[in-house]
Amino acid sequence: MFSSEDTIVAIATPPGRGGLGVVRISGPAAGDVARRMLARGAPLEPRHATFTRVRSARTPEGIRTVDEVVVTWFPAPHSYTGEHVVEVSAHGSPVILQAVVRSAIDAGARLARPGEFTFRAFLNGKLDLVQAEAVADLIAAATPLQARVAFDQLEGSLTTQIQTLDAELLDLVARLEASLDFPDEGYHFIDPADIANRIDGVIETLDTVLNDAARGRMIRDGATVVIAGRPNVGKSSVFNALLGHARAIVTERAGTTRDLVTETTELDGLAVTLVDTAGLRETIDVAEQEGVWRGIRARGVADLVVVVLDRGEALTEDDRRLFEETAVRRRVVVANKCDRAAAWERDGSICVSATNGVGIDQLRLAIVRALTGEEHLRDTAAISNVRHTVLLEGARTSLDHAREAVMCAHVSEEFVLADLHAARVSLGEVVGAHTSEDLLRHIFERFCVGK
Ligand code: GDP
């Protein structure tokens, strides 16, 4: 997919202006490229910051100085990519950084493709696939919790868990193979009950990891929460109260919200996209009708529905219909306008007054709990990536088969072995031990140039 014989260059810092901008060069010729483009003639000292200048290539007007820079030389293998790397810190102007890149290209480097630095780190064993994916997640993180979870993954917490499980399976495989190799002696290196127990142990750990995956996914991808209710119950007011500022228009007239109003906010570290919908009611107004339909469609794809009811008024047929329609959904029921005299009581609803803020904190907690199963999100690692979940589920299925085969007296140990092997292949794919080129391309395409 990528050749790793070339020396590559790219701007490593985000586009735009800043105090500093960094250009990274990696590959076998990184040292030579640096020597050609820098004013300093003497070799660079490893891992030392050196103040020097970047020069342009020879032009008809001669050689110009591009910028004053600080250069750091990381000889292989002690660098991000595991190759020779030179990092050039220049002034953070796009024009200057592009000129530095140009100068590196004139000195023999080629422009890096998206994710190519991290891909080389993966090839050189500096990172496994889980960690490479964590780099992309870390860069994409929008909340501190997302960053924390991605960082744990980068530090190798999932990798370590998988390695521990794999070591246990490898030990079982070795013992079973030894038993198969010496059939005549009728000697068993391990008895079936023991194998079954140990497989159960691995399954249990896998289940814990998988159960935690829902939390991880919510943290990584965020959730969509739709606010539904009949007109005038206070949906827009609840929406604004959750956001902490007035985004949706609040009026006394029913039917003011005619389209979906969407805003992303953070609830206890969780990135939540709130959707305010048009009030649900029979209507002859075409625009309002379309708004109602959009609201219904949004509810269909939401991770959670917040059903808003007006506690100051008797429940209506529309309220009841919405209540029934959302019964099978993950939902939180809000009794809004609790500052008014209660016209009805209902267990399980959260009393809120959107206008004076009463109950909004409880509502936030209830939303987080309904989405993740916990009130306060733990900042420990949880798998957050569908690819990982699917592979771990595959390993779980293979182990289930192995477990069944062990307990059948007439099933040969070879079947157990085949299932254990299959489970190990799935675990290995998570960290990238066996991975197709297509998958690698797909993963590294998520990166931006310079990473
Ligand atoms: P929506 O049509 O469901 O989006 O409802 P709005 O948020 O536009 O609110 C409708 C009316 O109810 C407005 O006049 C709000 O000021 C009022 N309202 C909303 N929440 C409360 C509340 O908690 N208490 C009281 N007393 N009035 C509220």
pLDDT per residue as tens digits for the range 197-233: 999 999 999 988 887 777 777 777 788 899 999 989 9
For 10, counting Cβ atoms within 10 Å of its Cβ (0-12 exposed, 13-18 middle, 19+ buried), the class is buried
Indicate whether 441 pLDDT > 60.
yes
CA–CA separation, 271 and 222 (whole Å): 5
Taken as a whole, the chain contains a residue count of 451
Task: Using the Cα atoms of residue 352, residue 353, residue 354 and residue 357 in order, give the sign of their dihedral.
Answer: negative
Domains of the chain: 8-128 (3.30.1360.120), 141-212+383-431 (1.20.120.430), 221-372 (3.40.50.300)
- Whole-number Å distance, alpha carbon 252 to ligand 1 midpoint, is 7
- Whole-number Å distance, alpha carbon 331 to ligand 1 midpoint, is 21
- Whole-number Å distance, alpha carbon 254 to ligand 1 midpoint, is 10
pLDDT (0 to 100) of residue 262: 84
Helix (H, G, I), strand (E, B) or coil at 79: coil
Average pLDDT over residues 263-281: 80
CA–CA separation, 180 and 196 (whole Å): 17
Q: Using most ligand atoms within 8 A of CB, pick from 227, 230, 233, 237 the residue to mutate for ligand 1.
A: 237
Find out whether 203 and 396 touch, Cβ atoms under 8 Å. Answer: yes
Helix (H, G, I), strand (E, B) or coil at 267: strand
Q: Following DSSP, what letter does each residue of 376-387 receive, concatenated? A: S---S-----HH
CA–CA separation, 332 and 165 (whole Å): 38
CA–CA separation, 308 and 322 (whole Å): 10
**251 CB under 6 A from ligand 1?**
yes
Indicate whether 282 pLDDT > 60.
no
Average pLDDT over residues 52-69: 82
The strand order across the sheet containing 261-267 reads 261-267, 270-276, 223-228, 304-310, 331-336, 350-351
Q: Using most ligand atoms within 8 A of CB, pick from 239, 250, 275, 281 the residue to mutate for ligand 1.
A: 250
**258 CB under 6 A from ligand 1?**
no
CA–CA separation, 120 and 27 (whole Å): 9
**118 CB under 6 A from ligand 1?**
no
From the CA of 336, give the closest atom in ligand 1. 23
What separation in angstroms does the CA of 65 have from each of 19, 34, 57, 103, 451?
19, 14, 10, 10, 27
**153 CB under 6 A from ligand 1?**
no
Nearest-CA neighbor of 84 among 166, 133, 25, 15? 25
Q: What is the dihedral of CA 187, 189, 195, 415, to 10 degrees?
A: -60
pLDDT band, residue 30 (cuts 50/70/90): very high
Q: What is the dihedral of CA 113, 117, 119, 120, to 10 degrees?
A: 120
Residue type, 235: K
For 345, counting Cβ atoms within 10 Å of its Cβ (0-12 exposed, 13-18 middle, 19+ buried), the class is exposed
pLDDT (0 to 100) of residue 255: 55
pLDDT, tens digit, 9 for 90 and up, residues 389-399: 888 999 999 99
Indicate whether 156 pLDDT > 80.
no
From the CA of 338, give the closest atom in ligand 1. 23
- Whole-number Å distance, alpha carbon 257 to ligand 1 midpoint, is 12
pLDDT band, residue 137 (cuts 50/70/90): confident
pLDDT (0 to 100) of residue 185: 60
Indicate whether 381 pLDDT > 80.
no
CB neighbours of 44 closer than 8 A, spacing ≥ 6?
A: 31, 34, 50, 71, 72, 73, 86
Max mean pLDDT among 191-195, 217-221, 366-370, 378-382 falls in 366-370
pLDDT (0 to 100) of residue 257: 55
Mean pLDDT, the chain, rounded, equals 84
